[in-house]
Amino acid sequence: MSSKIKVTGLIQCQRCYHQIRMEIVAEYSKTNPQYESGVTWDESDNYELLLCPVCSSVALRSYYWRDYMEPENVKFHYLYPVEQEKPLGLPPEIQKAYDAAIKVKYIDVNAYAVLVGRVLEMICKDRNASGSTLNNKLKNLSAKGEIPNKLVKVSENIRHLRNIGAHASLGELTESEEPLLSSLLRAILEYVYSAPYLAQEAEEKLRILKDSNQ
């Protein structure tokens, strides 16, 4: 007995962000036979469970099909996981470094920690922090009011996890540290970039509203 493995076209995994062909591990079709003016055809809602070969996560997508439809007109809707919302307002360089970190997040948490540390270094550079070490730079950012003191403590945790990730002699991070690293990084990015970005956007909308009422 031979079993043929079915794969998708090139799609982006919403968890690890790799462009990849995923294996279709399960399928379900709900078919509705149709009849009109002596013609019969089938319409169906179809579901596919996909497996990412990179991060081993599953995804669920659906599509509508009817007989005589052209296969290239099939539109896929991704139901799970929903696209992760990226922090808003990041400068392009930091966005790039952030995306690079996300790509290794589910593959190697130690590499992820190192790249998260790199994002921190870039934030310090972008905000003109002075100091010789990352820790000093972060303290400098806090002194300048760029980040609250509470976030310096958060950053120290990232720095500590980054060091473990970078130096095998200090031990290894496990997958259980990933959510912590992710939320620490997110807290900093949202404070430094997303909050001012959203505030500016709100101000802009308010200004347009005021102008249109004059």
Size of the site for Zn ion (CB under 5 A): 6
| Shortest distance, position 80 Cβ to Zn ion, whole Å | 13
Among residues 112 and 193, whose Cβ is nearest to Zn ion? Answer: 112
Site residues for Zn ion, 15-54, by CB under 5 A, read 15-16, 52, 54
The radius of gyration computed from the CA coordinates of the chain, to the nearest angstrom, equals 24
| Shortest distance, position 163 Cβ to Zn ion, whole Å | 27
- Label residues 33-70 b or e (16+ Cβ within 10 Å = b): eeeeeeeeeeebebbbbbbbebbebebebeeeeeeeee
End-to-end CA distance of the chain: 77
For residue 168, CA distances in Å to 119, 133, 176, 180 come to: 21, 21, 17, 20
Among residues 12 and 135, whose Cβ is nearest to Zn ion? Answer: 12
- Pick from 7, 49, 51, 55 the residue near Zn ion by CB under 5 A: 55
| Shortest distance, position 16 Cβ to Zn ion, whole Å | 3
The verdict on 11 binding Zn ion (CB under 5 A) reads no
Q: Residues in the chain, how many?
A: 214
CB atoms within 10 A of CB 106: 20
| Shortest distance, position 75 Cβ to Zn ion, whole Å | 22
Among residues 13 and 119, whose Cβ is nearest to Zn ion? Answer: 13
User: Which range touches Zn ion (CB under 5 A), out of 8-16, 90-98, 117-125, 167-175?
Assistant: 8-16
The verdict on 59 binding Zn ion (CB under 5 A) reads no
Which residues are within 8 A (CB) of 181 and not within 5 positions of it... i.e. 6 or more apart?
109, 112, 113, 116, 158, 161, 173
The verdict on 13 binding Zn ion (CB under 5 A) reads yes
| Shortest distance, position 187 Cβ to Zn ion, whole Å | 25
For residue 134, CA distances in Å to 13, 22, 163 come to: 33, 39, 11
Among residues 18 and 186, whose Cβ is nearest to Zn ion? Answer: 18
8 A C-beta contact, residue 89 and residue 152: no
Binding site for Zn ion (CB under 5 A): 13, 15-16, 52, 54-55
